[in-house]
Structure 1
Amino acid sequence: MADLIARTRTAAEILAWGKELTEPGLRTAAERLPPSMRPVARHHFGWADGAGSGKLLRPTLVVLAAQAVGAPAEQALPHAVAVELVHDFSLVHDDVMDGDTTRRHRTTVWREFGSGAAILAGDALLALAARLLAGEPESSHVLMTAVLELIEGQSLDLSFEDRAEVGVAECRVMAAGKTGALLGASCALGALAGGGSRERAGHLRCFGEQVGLAFQLVDDLLGIWGDPAVTGKPVYSDLRNRKKTLPVVAALASGTEAGGELAARYGVAPGNLPREAELVELAGGRAWAEAEAARLLHEAQAHLGAAGIEARPRTELETLARFIVQRDR
């Protein structure tokens, strides 16, 4: 009966399990930061005010991937914590670059402590992640390669802001690095930590990468149409920052009248943001992004099938993948 219940857990239950399993290790790791960085980390993770950290999706993928190759989830806990530290390094820096003032319903690190402290805190989180896997060369290589891809994706994202035209293909490359690389690494690291073969780790990495790209598409949609009360981010944040996100780029490249009006508006300072959001939808950007996320989900599921993994973890990985495509925050 217990095994049946485990096989049919909802995404919320899976994430709650993953968070309960991995957050203690994350707290322990954060206490190893330099003393000046600990209050900053506690604020970012929501521990200072009791709000709590985020969903911890990436660590949950790590421990599920370890189970998928037949190992206990606990075997992958250092890898799970390292992945989350990398993710939060990127968030802290991303908020500085974008000038966002809120995240997860509280002030961002740079807003609370200043940009200098935020940059240093992000650096410290990244260094701590590297130290956690210092004794495992293959795992460290996987994670740090993902960090380099993430940085390149973020760099492309910033460069797009100054360009009048950006193609959908190069925008996909940006998103694959910015989001897909770390989710792919999460799944590969879990498989490696669990003693899985490189072939299985490769399929799980591809699963994570496809899910990661779908995640970015949904994130881009929420960056325009998400409810701030639910997402914890400012309304129309991506439009205000003139981000060339995937729905926006698809709309700009649509050749439609709405796309042309959007291009004219995007070339000047932010004005009527609700109208710009409407134009993205009228030009087909929203529908394209939703359809593309669904297609990527199908491809991700195919990689799980090819990996030949344990049935229950496979089901739960699929459940999380569907949750990513259907989430509202």
Structure 2
Amino acid sequence: MAIGSGLGGQLGIVAEVSYGTFVAPTRFLEFTKESLVLKKTVEQSAGVAAGRLLALSDRRVLTQKEVTGSIDLEVTNTGMGLLLQALMGTSVTPVQQAATTAYLQTHTLADSFGKNLTIQKGVPLTTGTVTDKSFVGCKVTGAEFSCEVGGMLMSSWEIDGKTCDETQTLATASYPSRRPFHFGQLAVKAGTFASETALDGVRKVSVKIERPMSTDRFYAGQAGLKKEPIANDLVKITGSVEMDYVSTTLDDLHTSDAATSLVIECVGPNIASTYDETFRITLPAIKIDEAPPVIDGFEVIKPTYSFTALYDGTNQPVISYISTDTAV
């Protein structure tokens, strides 16, 4: 029996072969919190009937079902590939680095149609019995990555799903050894694409990737369930860099509105040879939206520069992930 609290909870994921068709989870996330829920739309018939003071219970109908919510977790040195693929859209095969146990995943921004997940949640009753909630047809509609002084590299994933299936068998969770990326491994770089140099004074950085989709594809003949969402707007990538005012690099870019390439990376322990555990976000062109530094009393000046990522005409945003995972 599991512990009858959140201590006994679990969250498993797996890629689906077809949208909304359950697949038993094979990977289990160590998460900090989640809010995945079944959202239903109901209609109540309420015709006039002499003497009736309440609507009839058997005249309430369930017309639509869908899944919404989010998952928060630390970014770790293994096990992130499925979520990254669902976010960025490219079908990725990890590439072995030389003859080592290090494998590179290159998640380039692309259309994410067909990148769907089954996410199975185990929710414990106080008795220790764990109930199954299997969310199928799950798409990542956005994610945010952030890291600050003294903290872990954190991530938050926005999920849209087709429905919840509570008839499946709860998979047995297993957790391989993992390590989180953290501030002590963080570097933020800016400059010419592929030749960026480290910025000094960075205290916090965050990046949010939004994948707008038509999540309302409810059609007749689908039993009140949606068809797979389709991208219906440009991808939006925004973020911020909080730093001590040790240089005018970003300040000058704010003034000129010139573009720069931005790299946010955490590099962990060595895997083998020259290959280290790595999580790297490369944005080939960003523009600083705000804010120039201001003096607010006696303290060190700490501007927060918000930015928008754009297309440089050649290079797409990429998340690079070096781990020992031989499969996404």
Task: Give the TM-score range, shorter chain.
Answer: under 0.3
Structure with a larger share of its residues in helix:
1
Q: Normalising by structure 1, what TM-score?
A: 0.26
In our comparison, the structure showing a higher alpha carbon Rg is 2
Q: Normalising by structure 2, what TM-score?
A: 0.27
